[in-house]
Amino acid sequence: GAVVSQHPSWVICKSGTSVKIECRSLDFQATTMFWYRQFPKQSLMLMATSNEGSKATYEQGVEKDKFLINHASLTLSTLTVTSAHPEDSSFYICSAPSRTSGNYEQYFGPGTRLTVT
């Protein structure tokens, strides 16, 4: 199946700094990628849809100025958490759809665990 990578797998940063997370589709092209956030013992919550060559679409309640998304190429989307605070500590996961047999299957990256101190 298709492979999606994320980097870094974990990061610790100080409050007020910015952190960039990369999501790459390794063996297929993805015009769309999705960014999710998962707090402990909760389900995945969609944050935004990243669109290659255009602006991201953010879900209700997600601040677009705080979570900057850039989808610069067909294989790379980045999420930058700006001015991070402890409440932004979470597990961030990206996914990219790849079409098989007429249906889109979502391939998930391994996730990035962000801890803000």
Query: Residue 107 in contact with residue 1, Cβ under 8 Å?
Result: yes
Residues that bind other proteins (CB under 8 A): 1, 32, 34, 36, 41-46, 49, 93, 95, 97, 103-111
**CA nearest 21: which of 59, 57, 47, 54?**
47
> In the bound complex, what is the minimum distance in angstroms from residue 101's beta carbon to other proteins?
9
Nearer to other proteins, 15 or 57 (CB): 57
Asked if residue 97 has a cis previous peptide bond (ω within 30° of 0), the answer is: no
Nearer to other proteins, 86 or 101 (CB): 101
Query: Residue 71 in contact with residue 56, Cβ under 8 Å?
Result: yes
> In the bound complex, what is the minimum distance in angstroms from residue 60's beta carbon to other proteins?
9
